[in-house]
Chains A and B, each alone.
Chain A
Amino acid sequence: MLRLIARRLIFAVVTLWVVSMVVFSAIELLPGDACQAFLGQMAQGKRLENCRTEHNLNAPAYVRYADWALGLSAGDLGKSIKRSKPLEDIIGPRFRNTVILGMTAALVGIPLAILLGALAALYRDRRPDLWISFIAIFCMTVPEFITGTLLISFFSVWLGWLPGIVIMRADAPLLDVLSKIVLPVMTLTLVMVAHIMRMVRTSMIDVLASDFVMMSQLKGVSRLRQVLMHALPNALLPTINLIALNIAWLMGGVLVVEVVFNYPGIGRLSVNAISDRDFPLVQAIALLMASLYVGLNLIADLLALLLNPKLRSRGVG
C-alpha cells in the first residue's frame, strides 16, 4: 500500500517536471523573447536592453530554466513583465476566488449529481428517469454562456432577485464573495451535474443488476438499505475519477463563466495574461493548472484505492 502511494507520488512529480519542460520550451520556441513580445513595436534599443537585463533574458535557455525551476520549488513563481509585482501576489487572490467558486459549485453539484443519478437508476426507463436524463442532456449540450445568460435574464433582469454580474475587487473578503456568486455557481452546477449524474446512473444500473444486490434482497434487506449499503458505495467507485476531473475543471477557472459574470478569477487572469503577452505570468498559470490536474487525479486515485477493498489489498501483496 505504502509502496503504491510512493510510486504514484513519484509519478506525479515526474509528470510535473515534464510539464514544466514542455511549458518552458513552448514559450522558448515562440519567435522572439518575452521582452520583444511584450514591448511589441517599441522593442528596440535601450528599452529592450533594460527589459532583458531586468528579466535576465540574456542568459542561455538552460540557465533560465534552471533558475525558474529552482524558484518554483522554493515557491517563487517569478516576476510579471507588465505588472511589476511578484506573480504570487497577482495569482494568489484570483486563484482563491476561483477556488471559492469551484468548491461551492462542487459542494452543491456533486451530492446533487449522485442523488439524481441514483434516482434515475432506481426508476430506470420510467418517468423520473426520463425527466432527469432529459434535463441533464439539455444542460450538457447548452454552452455555459447561454445557460449563464439565461439565468441572468431570468433571476436578475426579470425577477430582479440577484445581481447579474459580480462587481468586486479581486481580494474582497470571503463573505462578500460568497454572497455574490449564486448565479455563477448555479451555471457551473447545471453543466457539471449532467456529466456526473449520467455516469452515476450507468454505474448504478450495473450494480443494481449484480448478484450481491439481488442476494441482499433475498436476505430480506429493505429496499432503502439495499440501495444505501450494498449498491451505492460500489456504484460510486468508478465515478471518483470523473468527479476529480470535474473538480480540476472547476479549479482551472471556468473561463467562459468568469467572463460572463465578470468574476475576478484565474480564468480571466489567464486571458488577460495572454492578451498582454505577459509570458512569465502565462507560464506560471499553465504550470499551476497542470499541478492542479495532476494533484487532483492523484487524490482521486488514492481515494479510489482507499474506498475499494480489492485495490487496497492488491497494493499490500
Chain B
Amino acid sequence: MTAPLLTIENLSIGFRGPDDQPVFIVREVNMSLAAGETLGLVGESGCGKSSLLLAMMGYYKPGLGRLSGSLSYDGEDPGLISSHQLQALRGGGMALIPQNAGQALTPTLRIKAQMIEVLRLHSDLAPSAWHPRCIELFERVKLPAPEQMLKRYPHELSGGQQQRVAIAMALAGEPNLLLLDEPTTGLDVTTQVEVLALLQEICRDLGTAMVYVSHDIQVIQKVCNQIAIMYAGEIVEMGSRATLLAAPVHPYTQGLLASIPRLHQQTLPRPIAGEMLQPVHRGSSVGCGYANRCLLATDQCQATSPAPRVVMDRWVKCHEVEAAVAGELIRPAQKLLAPALGENLLLAVEDLSVSYQRPSLVRALLGHKPLATVQGVTFGIRQGEILGLVGESGSGKSTILKTIAGLQRSLSGRITLSGTDDLAGPVESRARGCLRKVQLVFQNPDASLNPRKTIGEILRRPLELYFELAPTVMNDEVDALLHRVNLPESYKGRFPGQLSGGEKQRVAIARALAAKPELILCDEITSALDVSVQAAILKLLLDLRADSGVSLLFVSHDLAVVETLCDSVLVLEGGEVREAGLCAEVFKNPQHAYTQALMKAVPIADPRKRKDENDVVHIT
C-alpha cells in the first residue's frame, strides 16, 4: 500500500467562545484518502462539512481556526507551510470546485483571463500554449463553442456552463486531489445529471482523488466509492458506498436514509424528530451530538462522546451500535391516499398567459407581442386537492403561483376561485374576503418573517386583518395555530431569529392557516430545509389537508417530493404545460418525453429493496 494522499488526525475546527470555551464546528475528525480514491462527505446544513473541506486547503472562514489535530497532504501540513508553498498547493496540488460557480467567478473578468490566471500560476506552459490548453480543457469538460466561451463574461453563461468552467479551471493545474463543495446544488436536475456524468468520467480517466461534499446522499452515491456521514461536526459513520447504503448502522444514517422522499415509493418519508443543534448551542458539550434526536439514546449517550469503533467493515461512532444494528430502518407504511375529492373546482385557471415585459407603446404600435413567460396554461384544483407544479428553473412554475397570488399581472386568461371570485386582477384590487381565501407561503422563511416581530405578533396580524376577535379569543387562536403546526405555545414570545429553519417554516404555514384559507400557495417551501426536516413539513401539510380540507398548490423542482405529497401534477417546460394528470398515473407511466427526461434525471439511491416496505410501523 502506498502512503495516503491526505491524512486527517483528530482535527477540530472552531473558535473560542466566551470564557475561552472552545466552540466546535468540526470535532475530532479522523480520515485518510489514498490517491485516486473518491470520498463523499454527507451531512445536513451546519454539520461542518464545508469547513472540513476548506481546512484541507489550509483555509478557514473568518473567525474560525484549527483547535487541535493535524492534517497532512503529501506529507505536508497545509497549515504549517509558507504562504508561497500554500499558493502553489492551492489550485496546483489540490483544486476546489465551488458550490455556486456563478458567484465564484469574478464578474468583471472574462473567462479567458480567469483560466489563464491558473495556467500561469500552476503550469509550466509557455504563454503561447495557454490558449490551446484552455480550448483543450473546455473540450474536456464538454463546453460547447470553447472559443466563444473564452471571450465571454461569467454572467453570459448558463449555470451549467459556469459549473463546467469551474471544473475546467480546477483541472487546469492538473491536481491530484479535487475538492468539490456541493457542485451541483444550484443546477436543474437534467443539468446535474450531465455534470455528475462528467465528474465520474474525470475520476475514471484521470485517476484524480476526490472529496465530494453534499447534503444529497443520492448525488454522492453516483460519484463516490467511500461515504462518510457527518453530524454536528463529527463523522458518525464511514464506509464503502455499497455496504453503507445497503445496511446503515448509525441511527442518524438510518434516519437520514429514511427521510429522503424517493420516486416510485408509495410511502411517506420518515422525519427525524427535532433539528440539529447549531454549533453555538452545541458548545463544548461532551455527549453524543445526535443524542437529543436519537430514539436509542441512553444516559451514557448524553454523558460521554462515543469512541469510534469498527463494526461490520466500517467505522461508526455510537454507543448503541448493537441496538442500532438490530433495529431496522423502517419507512412508515402509510400509503398515500388521495381523499375523496369533490367534482367542484375550487380554483380554475383558463388559458393563462403572463409576461414580465411591460407592453410598451412603441411595441404595441409595431404589433409586437410581449414575450410570454407563461403561455396558455389551463388547470384546476379541486376542494382538498394537492396539486404539484413541477419544472426546471425558467419553466414558469413560480410565475403562475405569483399570478394567482396577485403579485404579477397576467397578460390574458381567467383565474376564478370557487366559480365566483375573480383572481385575474392584482392583489390591490381584490376584496378582503377574497384575499383571505388565498394564502401564500414563501420559499425562504428567513426572508418572509419580520425579524423584529415576535411569533405571537406575526400570527396575530392576519387574525386582526380578517376577523374581529376579542383579545382573549385572539390569544386562544394563536395558541391553537401553534398547536396545529406542532410548535409549543411558549414560542409566542420568541423572535424568528431564535427559531431553526424548520420551525420558522412552520410559523409561516401557521400564518397562512390563520386566515382560514381555502387555497394555500406553496412556493418551494421545503427546498431551503434539510431532508430530515423536510419530511416533517410534508407530513404536516398532509395532516392539515386531512383536518381542514384546504387545497394546496405546491410548486417544486423536486419530483420525489411532489410524488410523495401531491394528488395530481402539472409538468411545465418553457411556460407551457407538457403533461398533467394524477400523480399515480403520471409518475408510473409518463407520456411526454420531457417528463420522462426529468424522471430519468433524478438520482435514485436504491440501496436495497425493502422487505418490510408495506406493513410494519416501528414505534420505539
Task: List residues of chain A with CB under 8 Å of any chain B CB.
Answer: 209-222, 225, 229-230, 233-234, 237, 307-310, 313
Whether the Cβ atoms of B105 and A212 lie closer than 8 Å is yes
* Cross-chain contact A309 with B103 (CB below 8 angstroms): no
* Contact residues in B for A209 (Cβ distance below 8 Å): 62
| Neighbouring B residues of A237 by C-beta, 8 Å | 108
State in angstroms the CA–CA spacing of A274 and B104 once bound together.
56
Contact partners of B122 in chain A: CB under 8 A: 220
* CB-contact partner of B108 in A218, A221, A309, under 8 A: A309
Bound form: Cα–Cα A209–B103 in Å:
12
Tell me if B108 and A215 are in contact (CB < 8 A): no
Which residues in window 90-144 of B have CB below 8 A to A? 90-92, 95-96, 98, 100, 103-109, 117-118, 121-122
Choice from A217, A219, A310 contacting B107 with Cβ under 8 Å: A310
The 19 sampled A-B contact pairs (Cβ below 8 Å) are: A212-B105, A215-B98, A215-B105, A216-B117, A217-B90, A218-B54, A218-B57, A219-B90, A220-B87, A220-B118, A220-B173, A222-B87, A229-B109, A229-B117, A230-B109, A309-B107, A310-B153, A310-B155, A313-B155
Number of residues on chain B facing chain A (CB within 8 A): 31
Contact yes or no, B100 A218, CB < 8 A: no
| B contact face: mostly helix, strand, loop, or mixed | mixed
Residue pair B155, A309 in contact (C-beta under 8 Å): yes
Residue on B nearest A313 in the bound complex, by CB: B156
Q: Are A221 and B121 in contact (CB under 8 A)?
A: yes
List residues of chain B with CB within 8 A of the CB of A214: 59, 104
Partner of B100, one of A211, A217, A309: A211
Q: How far is the CB of B90 from chain A (nearest CB, A)?
A: 4
List residues of chain B with CB under 8 Å of any chain A CB: 54, 57, 59, 62, 86-92, 95-96, 98, 100, 103-109, 117-118, 121-122, 153, 155-156, 169, 173
Instruction: Assess the B91–A212 pair: CB atoms within 8 A.
Output: no
Residues of A within 8 A of B169 (CB): 219
Contact between A220 and B108, CB atoms less than 8 A apart:
no
Given contacts A219-B121, A221-B117, A309-B153, contact A234 B107 (CB under 8 A): yes
Instruction: Point out the residue from B87, B105, B155 that lies within 8 Å of A221, measured CB to CB.
Output: B87
Is there contact, CB below 8 Å, between B89 and A212?
A: no
- Picked from B89, B103, B104, B107, the residue with its CB within 8 Å of the CB of A220 is B89
Asked if B59 and A210 make an inter-chain contact with CB atoms under 8 angstroms apart, the answer reads no
Q: How far is the CA of A214 from the CA of B87 in the complex (A)?
A: 13
Complex formed: what's the CA distance from A175 to B95 in Å? 57
- Cβ 8 A contact of B117, one of A210, A213, A219: A219
Known contacts A309-B155, A313-B155; is A220 also within 8 Å of B92 by CB?
yes
With A and B bound together, what is the CA distance between A211 and B103 in angstroms? 6
A314's nearest neighbour on chain B, judged by CB, is B155
How far does the alpha carbon of A135 sit from the alpha carbon of B529 in the complex, in Å? 46
Query: Shortest beta-carbon distance, A222 to chain B, in Å?
Result: 6
The winner among B106, B107, B121 for most chain A CB atoms within 10 A is: B106
Least CB distance from B296 to A in Å reads 40
B105 cross-chain contacts in A, Cβ below 8 A: 212, 215
Interface centre among A220, A233, A234, A309 (most CB of B within 10 A): A220
CB contact between A211 and one of B95, B104, B117, B173 (< 8 Å): that residue: B104
Q: A219-B90, A220-B87 are in contact. Are A308 and B96 (CB under 8 A)?
A: no
Nearest-neighbor residue (CB-CB) of A316 within chain B: B156
* Across-interface contacts of B100 in A (CB, < 8 A): 211
Closest to B100 in A: A211
Q: A212-B107, A216-B117 are in contact. List 16 more A-B contacts (CB 8 A).
A: A211-B104, A212-B103, A215-B105, A218-B57, A218-B90, A219-B90, A220-B86, A220-B121, A220-B173, A221-B87, A225-B117, A234-B107, A234-B108, A310-B107, A310-B153, A310-B155
Residue of B nearest to A226 (CB): B106
Q: Please tell me if the beta carbons of B156 and A233 are within 8 angstroms of each other in the complex.
A: no
A237–B108 Cα distance when bound, in Å, is 10
Instruction: Determine whether the beta carbon of A218 is less than 8 Å from that of B96.
Output: yes
Q: Which residues of A contact B90 (CB under 8 A)?
A: 217-220
Q: Who on chain A is nearest to B179 by CB?
A: A218
Given contacts A210-B103, A313-B153, A313-B155, contact A218 B109 (CB under 8 A): no
Instruction: Point out the residues of chain B lying under 8 angstroms from A215, CB to CB.
Output: 96, 98, 104-105
A221 to B90, CA, bound (A): 9
